[in-house]
Chain A
Amino acid sequence: MNKDSYKKPILYILFTAACVGLVLTYSRFSPEDSTWFPKCIFLQLTGLKCPGCGSQRVVHNLLNLNIHKAFEANAFLVLCLPYIAALLASIPLKSRFPKFYNTLNSVPVIITIGILVIAWWITRNIFGW
């Protein structure tokens, strides 16, 4: 057995362990209560929110099944989660459903998402969302 055949299984194990650790951490602890959770650099430097601000709180609230609070933390991210989930799902399904993968990754879709992200970025700083 060569060294390379060890790499993939080890990566998968590490990745799964990291995911489990993150899920346990975020479901048990709220990012608002503890400084251990890193804050957004953009927020710290400019005082303005970036499109991803609040994502840790979204994870915490969704893991605790508090959808309302998740929306309050970052509504756009919550709405994007189905798209991100579909995107992640399309990767292993790429060979069987190439059209699904191609559509989700198509240029018009990416441009739309880009525009929506920028619109959210600006809007949330105007309205304080």
Chain B
Amino acid sequence: MKFCPKCGNAVPDNASFCPKCGTNIPDTDSGTTPAQDPTPAPQTFAPQQPPMEPCPPTYLALSIIVTVLCCLPLGIVGIIKSSNVSKEYAAGNYAGAKDASKQAKTWSIIGLCCGLFWIILYIILLACGFMAGLADL
């Protein structure tokens, strides 16, 4: 069973023209139905397509600053999450990049808060005279 490429009418396999519209029917031996893709071939979105939107924020600067100044371990987690943002974005996975961006932000801010908490606690304890021994180091 073949189909007319023009009107889609079913025609017998041995027919050389369509009885309905009269179009010449090429001899196809593959059995594919040309009428089934009258719609233009859909754009295949290969992962290497150029990025759709700008890269979600990586929070890399914040992660680095937190690592160096405030809280080393959590800052490093932040940096790793920031690199995941770039990695996912480069692979075309915008949703994954956005998710990694959220995580990078979360960890960096937690690290920042921990660091600031310690610094403020230190200053308060120092003001109360508790840090004498530690401060002599």
Contact = CB atoms under 8 A, between A and B. Distances in A.
Indicate, yes or no, whether A interacts with B. yes
Nearest to B63: A110
Which interface residue of A39, A50, A52, A95 has the most chain B CB atoms within 10 A?
A52
B54 A98 contact: yes
A42 interface: yes
Given A52-B67, A98-B55, A110-B79, A44 B134 contact: yes
Contacts, number: 72
Nearest to A86: B61
B87 A107 contact: yes
Interface string B71-87: 01000000100110111
**What secondary structure prevails in chain B residues at the interface with A?**
helix
B90 A106 contact: yes
Given A77-B68, A98-B55, A107-B90, A87 B119 contact: no
Interface of B: 54-55, 57-58, 60-61, 64-65, 67-69, 72, 79, 82-83, 85-87, 89-90, 118-119, 122-123, 126, 131, 134-137
